Structure 1
């Protein structure tokens, strides 16, 4: 296999990666082997790695989309980037296994969408990651960090991802959670439903076929906006691979995507699901499992078949997160 060259000033040579099997699941912070998408992690230079990625074609969650032509799920690529970053932080950046990475903000965007067509021959996927951070003087631990990633399908640059995180040990996370709640948080494994989950939308309205993958309920439409309850199924093994004491960030991103599709559909009158190709967000507080979580999406047309949708999440009368989703109309996917 030939080597590649990173797109940076150092022109570092990227070592070849293997695609024969996925990495040890603990390195990706996953419980199920089927939810691991990184096949190999290799050091490029200090604080930089490259990773091979497996993109499953028949996944219960990531393959359940109705847009045409069919593209690899943008959230699958985002999750693969998250896993590559976590694994690389353990193998290359000196972050101990067992450390929690709390996301403060991120930005993710895709380009050259033709290379993401399922069944195409764009080449094997690869994610290159650079880590940035400073260690504490008294113990040498990283407390905060930033990563920047470039996503490739073969030789085609298809996306970019950056993320700012806070690193916590288990006891530090418990202290933070207790300081925010004042009471112990329930686990997703102890609950059967989240509040407001009885009126989830029809799957087709959010570009899905399987009701298990619908995460929004009771939408209310006003001029230029749609508000709904964020109510994922706790038995969805992709969103809840293990027990959580909060709604994971990726679940909020999925909620933002589904609300964005509802908002774009309402604004354009189209029933054809678009494709979410970009996300930018910040997280201010944990999303609790035992209190209603609502989100409001506001649509802004950007021209040329693209739409920007800002989604604000509120719980207990506080804004806990905000995300902006970029959606491409289904009619504009050809030649993107």
Structure 2
């Protein structure tokens, strides 16, 4: 995967956006107000919206990074884009409340990294979204859809995101889940025991400080790959904002990011990355992949990372997820060294 990171600022004209407060949390499918990052949604034209977003500077999960210089988290931008799309689908694209959007495939890439330095932002952030889809002939409902997004800091184009989704009503989701499992799925709230940190990857090796945010355990290193078990903490309020009957897609993306950082860092510091230098200058700048099945909560989930062809100055790490010897998802993560951004002043002259 080659991810565009050229510093070719793109401008776009948008209507006035409010930034004073976040939107009603149900529009973003969030339970906690602190996990809502959309401030306003305005129509651009039929099936297109622009949204203001809030990027918190102190957040248990999104601010927990050792990477220098400090940049706004790529997964924070991805989550803000996801919430903007959900809210816009309800307010502008005719998707009724209560509809579940199941991600089938997505692509996300950063560009103009200088504009993402925390403290040097060139302007307020926003997300422009275009929706694509056809309604079913008899029901008038959307069954499948696609969205394409451009994320801006002021007038600087900093990210692109596209996603293919399947829309389900609650009862349809239950039927699908039961058909896949053959039994009712447990809920994340059923897992009340807080796991210890035995076997959990050291936070600094995946660019973290807080062990709560580490989702990998029991890593195994070979000459050509790194394999680990995916075991997030269910008491992490950012990864599990509400009750789930599966591991959400964003948790798998986080697992892929951590495994990619661990793979790149260990290749440079020795098999076990024992030096502790970890991934301090490495940053995940792009993600691409798809999800074939739900990641079950009660079946061991493993992820294996291998290098893939990459663009100049980047590493590409392909991560495959398996449960019961079946591949359920595959993601490719683009990783870059961002140490060259130290001292850059271009963010104020985009």
Residues 194, 216 of structure 1: CA spacing in aligned structure 2 closer, same or farther, 3 A cutoff? Answer: farther
Q: Which residue of 1 aligns with 2:265?
A: 265
RMSD: 1.9
Q: Which residue of 2 aligns with 1:318?
A: 326
Q: Which residue of 2 aligns with 1:140?
A: 140
1:235 Cα shift? 0.1
What CA distance in whole angstroms lies between the structure 2 residues aligned with 1:248 and 1:197? 22
Are the equivalent residues in 2 in contact too, given 1:196–1:292 (CA < 8 A)? no
Query: Is the aligned partner of 1:305 residue 2:346?
Result: no
Q: Which residue of 2 aligns with 1:50?
A: 50
What CA distance in whole angstroms lies between the structure 2 residues aligned with 1:232 and 1:167? 26
Q: Which residue of 1 aligns with 2:3?
A: none
TM-score by length of 2: 0.90
TM alignment of 1:151-170, pairs within 5 A: 151-170=151-170
Q: Which residue of 2 aligns with 1:210?
A: 210
Q: Which residue of 1 aligns with 2:5?
A: none
What CA distance in whole angstroms lies between the structure 2 residues aligned with 1:115 and 1:155? 10
What CA distance in whole angstroms lies between the structure 2 residues aligned with 1:258 and 1:86? 26
Gaps spanning 5+ residues in structure 1: where?
1-6
1:15 Cα shift? 1.1
Q: Give the total of aligned pairs.
A: 327
Residues 300, 329 of structure 1: CA spacing in aligned structure 2 closer, same or farther, 3 A cutoff? Answer: farther
1:329 Cα shift? 1.5
Query: Is the aligned partner of 1:228 residue 2:228?
Result: yes
1:267 Cα shift? 1.6
1:281 Cα shift? 1.1
Residues 195, 310 of structure 1: CA spacing in aligned structure 2 closer, same or farther, 3 A cutoff? Answer: farther
What CA distance in whole angstroms lies between the structure 2 residues aligned with 1:286 and 1:271? 31
1:193 Cα shift? 5.5
What CA distance in whole angstroms lies between the structure 2 residues aligned with 1:193 and 1:82? 30
Q: Which residue of 1 aligns with 2:89?
A: 89
Give the alignment partner of residue 289 of structure 1, picking from 271, 279, 297: 297
Q: Which residue of 2 aligns with 1:277?
A: 285
Q: Which residue of 1 aligns with 2:6?
A: none
Residues 144, 164 of structure 1: CA spacing in aligned structure 2 closer, same or farther, 3 A cutoff? Answer: same
Are the equivalent residues in 2 in contact too, given 1:197–1:229 (CA < 8 A)? no
What CA distance in whole angstroms lies between the structure 1 residues aligned with 2:193 and 2:177? 21
What CA distance in whole angstroms lies between the structure 2 residues aligned with 1:25 and 1:238? 14
Residues 193, 162 of structure 1: CA spacing in aligned structure 2 closer, same or farther, 3 A cutoff? Answer: farther
1:57-77 per-position Cα deviation (integer Å, ceiling 9, x unaligned): 000000000000000000000
Are the equivalent residues in 1 in contact too, given 2:194–2:235 (CA < 8 A)? no
1:295-315 per-position Cα deviation (integer Å, ceiling 9, x unaligned): 000124636431000000000
1:259-309 per-position Cα deviation (integer Å, ceiling 9, x unaligned): 000100112226343100100010000000001000000124636431000
